[in-house]
Structures are given as structure tokens and as C-alpha cells.
């Protein structure tokens, strides 16, 4: 997963959400600021868990487009490209809304991370991308026009309506031992996971002796609330402030290590089917329902059979300055990394994103992650950052989307 240049939270006696001055570069609307704060690793990291969709329904509101001519954009357009599940239609740079106005240097941090593991099409451009990291915005923009061709992303068939959602990295209190107040375990991958596909469901993991035996001794840490454990599994990674057996505390990161490969089912949708009308913000509304219905908490949790396993990673000051690693294998940058369907947009591809709604966006982002619900040509999950404020924002984003891939000219 991907983060912008934000400073890292330090190990302290309490967890604080990311300060607002770290989020100002991607909270683009004063109304959003007033509302909210008034606001997977290894050679081929596995995709993170899925995200529940909450907030306003996606509308068909068209994304505004600026049509001012872009200097240097005069060459004949190339033919369209079929890329997996999508069709890329060449367009002029003038079609990209907000292109003259984006603070490109903010996205360059994410682009530099992509150049640590570049897709083949971009490897030869990475030396130039690195040189431009200290360039002015106009210089970066001119280089993009000279070296890249924008293509509007469309599905091969069916409606072209796009959908943008958002995800984040939770920060949670944890205990290394199962003590009073901390009883919800997070597990490493069990032995034999690969030999049984799919593995046991969430309900079977909680109830079957053979599933329990396979996980015995695989505990990483314990959380206070099983709904927090579910949230962590849905987001796919997070930070823990762990109290060790000797009473000391330290921050660690837990990252996606595998799943039981059972289908994902939305807990939000289950709550709606039970007649619950308020499911936002997630997970606070879910916790409120659970407090009122303690005898049904397992029923709620078991409505989603998918279960995610983690690995623990050390969290140095440098690591803490970035988000978790996404499926591309590079750290995510808040506000500049998205999860995509890799069968439509390859990892490491720069993308122009435009969306209207709770979070109006017209900006350069990098395709650096994926998720089990991120399927389709015009589909993206926006990495909002780390901590509670990022979580509040992520829970509210469900809005229309347009995407343009920026591909090297031939």
C-alpha cells in the first residue's frame, strides 16, 4: 500500500491519529475538513483484504473536464489498446480534468516508490523520473506530455460507470498475551494452509477443534475487540501498539500474509438485511450495534466467511513514514496510491483519477495495490493514510470515477 510524505507516529504512551497538517494535501474540500475533524510483502506481496463500502451511494454525476489546450500535445493519436479486462482509448491531455493544476511533486514520491519495482514498460523512464523529483511542476508536466500518452480506461463491455472507494491503515492497541480486555487473536498463516483450499470458514475457525488446533501457537497478538480484528482483516494491514509480556510497549506493523480463500461477504450488507439503517461511520456503527446485541456478535462476524492471516513486521522510523506495502511490493503513499484490478491496469502504472462526491479529486496517482473487491476496468480504492482520521474519510468515500492510464509513447 502507498503513503505520501507524512511523518511517522512515534512509539508513545498513547496512539494518536495522523495530524491534520499531514492530511491537508489530499483533503481538497473545506467541507470535508469540517465534517471529518471537524476529517500486502516479499517478492510478490499478496493483495490486501476487502473493504466494506459505506457512505453515500455512487451517482451518475459526470466528472467535469477541462478542455484547455496543453502545450506540446500535437502528435497524432495512437490506436486504442486492449489490456486484459479493459480497453484503453487514446485522448488528448486536455481531456484530463485538473491536469494543469495538480501538485505533481506530491505524486512524485509515490512514483519514485514504483521505480523501486518498475513494470517493464516504465523501467527505462525511471532515471528521468528520479531526476525530475526535484523539478518544478511545469517541468514535470511538460515531461509527462512529451513522454507519456493518456488513455481513457473503459470496460470491454457493459456500462462504463466507474466506482471509487477508499481504505486505510488502522492503528490499534494490542497485547502479546491473552489478558483481561484483550482476547481477539490475530494469527500467522497456519501450517497446511496451501494444502486445503479453501481453508476453514470464519465460523469453523472459531468452533472446529481441527481448525483451532492448526492455529494453536500461531498467535501474533490479541486485540480488545473482535470487530477491530475484523476491520484489520478487511483493510489487510495495520499498526499495533503492542504491550509485551514484560510490560514494555512498541509499535509493529502486521501485513497481509494469506487468507482462507473463502468468499468475502459484506458485514454492512448483512446489517442492512437485519433492518439496521445506520451503518456509517464504519466501524463505530457496527460496534454500537454489537453493544446493543451482544448475543448476536458471532452471527455478525460469521456473516463474512473470509479470514485473513498476517505476518509481523518491524516498524522503523523510515518504515513508519510510509504506508504498508501494496501488491506491487512498494510502500503506499497516502492520497497518491490506489488499488486497482491488475487485469485492467498493471501495477506501477501512473493514472489520472477524477471523481466527484464527498472527496472531489482530480490528480495523478499510482496503481500500487489491489483487493478482492477491486474488480473491473473503472474501479479504484483510494489509500487515505494511517489512523482514525484516515479511517473516517475512507468510510465515507463511495462515488463516481473516471480513470486515464498514462502509458509510455512508442
3-state secondary structure the chain: CECCCCCCCCCCCCCCCCCHHHHCCCCCCHHHHHHHCCCCCCCCCCCECCCCCCCCCCCCCCCCCCCCCCCCCCCCCCCCEEECCEEEEECCHHHCCCCCCCCHHHHHHHHHHHCCCCCHHHHCCHHHHHHHHHCCHHHHHHHHHHHEEEEEEEECCCCCCEEEEEEEECEEEEECCCCCCCCEEEECCCCCCCCCCCCCCHHHHHHCHHHHHHHCCCEEEEECCHHHHHHHHHHCEEEEEEECCCCCEEEEEEEEEEECCCCCCCHHHHHHHCCCCCCCCCCHHHHHHHHHCHHHHHHHHHCCCCCEEEEEEECCHHHHCCCCECCCCCEECCCCEEECCCCCCCCCCEEEEEECCCCCEEEEEEEEECECCCCCCCEEEEEEEECHHHHHHHHHCEEEEEEEEEEECC
Taking Cα atoms as reference points, which of 108, 356, 388, 382 lies closest to residue 231?
388
Taking Cα atoms as reference points, which of 162, 144, 143, 142 lies closest to residue 152?
162
**Confidence at residue 160, expressed as pLDDT on a 0 to 100 scale:** 78
DSSP 224: S
Q: What's the mean per-residue pLDDT of the chain?
A: 85
Whether residue 366 lies inside any domain: the answer is: yes
**Confidence at residue 123, expressed as pLDDT on a 0 to 100 scale:** 97
Does residue 97 sit in the same domain as residue 219? no
Does residue 247 sit in the same domain as residue 116? no
Domain boundary among 284, 319, 354: 319
Please, which pLDDT band fits residue 192 given cuts at 50, 70 and 90? confident
**Confidence at residue 387, expressed as pLDDT on a 0 to 100 scale:** 94
Does residue 197 sit in the same domain as residue 312? yes
**Confidence at residue 2, expressed as pLDDT on a 0 to 100 scale:** 34
How much of the chain exceeds pLDDT 70, in percent?
83
Instruction: Please check the confidence at residue 17 and state whether its pLDDT lies above 80.
Output: no
In angstroms, the CA 304 to CA 409 distance is: 44
As for how many domains the chain has, the answer is 2
**Confidence at residue 309, expressed as pLDDT on a 0 to 100 scale:** 97
**Confidence at residue 45, expressed as pLDDT on a 0 to 100 scale:** 42
**Confidence at residue 68, expressed as pLDDT on a 0 to 100 scale:** 59
Question: Average pLDDT for residues 156-164, to the nearest whole number?
Answer: 88
Whether residue 228 lies inside any domain: the answer is: yes
Instruction: Please check the confidence at residue 4 and state whether its pLDDT lies above 90.
Output: no
3-state helix vs strand vs coil in the chain, percent to 5: 25, 25, 45
Whether residue 270 lies inside any domain: the answer is: no
Beta-carbon count within 10 A of 11 CB:
16
Does residue 133 sit in the same domain as residue 72? yes
Does residue 187 sit in the same domain as residue 161? no
**Confidence at residue 60, expressed as pLDDT on a 0 to 100 scale:** 39
Beta-carbon count within 10 A of 184 CB:
18
Does residue 336 sit in the same domain as residue 245? no
How much of the chain exceeds pLDDT 90, in percent?
74
Cα–Cα distance list, 90 to 77, 80, 145, 231, 347 (Å): 6, 6, 13, 39, 20
Cross-strand partners of 351: 365, 405
Whether residue 279 lies inside any domain: the answer is: no
Does residue 344 sit in the same domain as residue 243? no
Instruction: Please check the confidence at residue 370 and state whether its pLDDT lies above 60.
Output: yes
Does residue 71 sit in the same domain as residue 89? yes
Does residue 234 sit in the same domain as residue 175? yes
Whether residue 284 lies inside any domain: the answer is: no
pTM: 0.81
Whether residue 387 lies inside any domain: the answer is: yes
Residue span of the structural domain in which 312 resides: 170-264+297-319
pLDDT digits (tens, 9 = 90+) for 34-63: 333 333 333 334 445 444 443 333 333 444
Instruction: Please check the confidence at residue 66 and state whether its pLDDT lies above 80.
Output: no
**Confidence at residue 137, expressed as pLDDT on a 0 to 100 scale:** 95
**Confidence at residue 234, expressed as pLDDT on a 0 to 100 scale:** 92
Instruction: Please check the confidence at residue 363 and state whether its pLDDT lies above 60.
Output: yes
pLDDT digits (tens, 9 = 90+) for 314-324: 999 888 988 99
Does residue 99 sit in the same domain as residue 236? no
Does residue 151 sit in the same domain as residue 177? no
Classify each residue of 266-280 as buried b or exposed e, where b means 16 or more C-beta atoms within 10 Å of its C-beta: bbbebbeeeeeeebb
Q: For 255, how many CA atoms within 13 A lie in the half-sphere containing its CB? A: 22
- CATH number, position 97: 2.40.40.10
How many residues can be counted in the chain? 410
pLDDT digits (tens, 9 = 90+) for 203-251: 999 999 999 999 999 999 999 999 999 999 999 999 999 999 999 999 9
Does residue 190 sit in the same domain as residue 230? yes
The set of residues, in sequence order, having a beta carbon less than 8 Å from that of 15 and lying 6+ positions away, is: 9, 171, 172, 173, 241, 387
Whether residue 253 lies inside any domain: the answer is: yes
- CATH number, position 180: 2.40.240.50
Between 358 and 278, where is the model more confident? 358
DSSP 187: E
pLDDT digits (tens, 9 = 90+) for 89-141: 999 999 999 999 999 999 999 999 999 999 999 999 999 999 999 999 999 99
pLDDT digits (tens, 9 = 90+) for 255-294: 999 999 999 999 989 999 999 887 777 788 899 999 999 9
**Confidence at residue 67, expressed as pLDDT on a 0 to 100 scale:** 55
In angstroms, the CA 71 to CA 142 distance is: 8
Question: Average pLDDT for residues 351-361, to the nearest whole number?
Answer: 97
Backbone angles phi, psi at 406, to 5 degrees: -110, 105
Whether residue 214 lies inside any domain: the answer is: yes
**Confidence at residue 133, expressed as pLDDT on a 0 to 100 scale:** 96
Question: Average pLDDT for residues 14-27, to the nearest whole number?
Answer: 38
Taking Cα atoms as reference points, which of 370, 233, 373, 257 lies closest to residue 306?
233
Q: Nine-digit cell at 115? A: 521505480
If residue 186 lies in a helix (H) or strand (E), which one and from where to where?
strand 184-187
Instruction: Please check the confidence at residue 88 and state whether its pLDDT lies above 80.
Output: yes
Taking Cα atoms as reference points, which of 391, 203, 374, 206 lies closest to residue 304?
203
Amino acid at each position: 500500500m502507498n503513503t505520501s510524505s507524512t511523518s511517522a507516529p512515534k512509539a508513545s504512551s498513547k496512539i494518536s491519529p495522523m495530524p491534520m497538517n499531514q492530511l491537508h494535501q489530499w483533503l481538497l474540500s473545506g467541507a470535508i475538513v469540517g465534517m471529518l475533524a471537524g476529517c500486502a510483502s516479499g517478492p510478490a506481496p499478496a493483495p490486501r483484504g476487502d473493504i466494506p463500502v459505506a457512505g453515500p451511494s455512487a451517482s451518475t454525476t459526470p466528472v467535469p473536464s477541462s478542455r484547455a489546450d496543453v502545450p506540446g500535445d500535437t502528435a497524432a493519436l495512437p490506436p486504442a489498446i486492449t489490456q486484459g479486462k479493459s480497453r484503453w482509448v487514446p485522448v488528448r491531455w486536455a481531456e484530463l480534468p485538473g491536469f494543469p493544476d495538480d501538485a505533481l511533486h506530491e505524486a512524485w514520491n509515490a512514483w519514485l516508490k514504483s521505480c523501486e519495482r518498475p513494470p517493464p514498460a516504465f523501467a527505462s523512464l525511471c532515471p528521468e523520473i528520479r531526476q525530475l523529483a526535484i523539478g518544478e511542476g511545469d517541468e514535470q508536466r511538460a515531461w509527462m506530455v512529451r513522454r507519456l500518452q493518456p488513455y481513457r480506461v473503459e470496460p470491454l463491455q457493459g456500462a462504463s460507470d466507474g466506482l471509487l472507494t477508499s481504505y486505510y491503515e488502522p492503528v490499534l492497541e494490542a497485547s502479546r498475551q491473552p489478558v483481561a480486555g484483550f482476547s481477539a487473536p490475530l494469527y500467522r498463516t497456519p501450517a497446511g494452509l496451501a494444502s486445503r483450499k479453501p481453508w476453514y470458514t470464519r465460523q469453523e475457525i472459531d468452533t472446529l477443534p481441527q481448525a483451532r488446533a492448526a492455529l494453536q501457537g500461531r498467535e501474533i497478538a490479541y486485540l480488545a475487540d473482535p470487530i477491530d480484528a475484523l476491520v484489520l482483516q478487511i483493510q489487510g494491514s495495520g499498526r499495533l501498539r503492542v504491550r509485551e509480556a514484560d510490560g514494555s510497549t512498541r509499535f509493529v506493523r502486521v501485513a497481509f500474509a494469506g487468507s482462507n480463500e473463502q468468499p468475502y461477504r459484506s458485514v454492512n450488507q448483512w446489517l442492512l438485511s437485519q433492518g439496521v439503517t445506520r451503518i456509517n461511520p464504519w466501524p463505530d456503527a457496527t460496534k454500537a450495534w454489537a453493544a446493543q446485541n451482544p448475543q448476536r456478535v458471532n452471527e455478525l462476524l460469521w456473516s463474512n466467511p473470509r479470514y485473513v492471516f498476517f505476518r509481523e513486521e518491524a516498524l522503523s522510523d523510515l518504515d513508519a513514514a510510509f504506508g504498508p506495502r501494496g501488491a506491487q511490493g512498494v510502500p503506499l503513499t497516502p492520497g497518491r496510491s490506489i488499488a486497482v484490478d491488475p487485469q485492467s491496469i498493471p501495477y506501477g502504472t501512473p493514472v489520472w483519477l477524477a471523481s466527484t462526491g464527498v472527496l472531489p479529486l482530480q490528480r495523478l496517482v499510482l496503481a500500487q495495490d489491489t483487493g478482492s473487491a477491486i474488480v473491473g476496468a473503472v474501479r479504484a480504492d483510494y489509500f487515505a493514510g494511517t489512523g482514525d482520521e484516515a479511517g473516517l474519510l475512507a468510510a465515507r468515500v463511495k462515488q463516481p470515477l473516471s480513470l486515464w492510464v498514462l502509458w509510455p509513447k512508442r
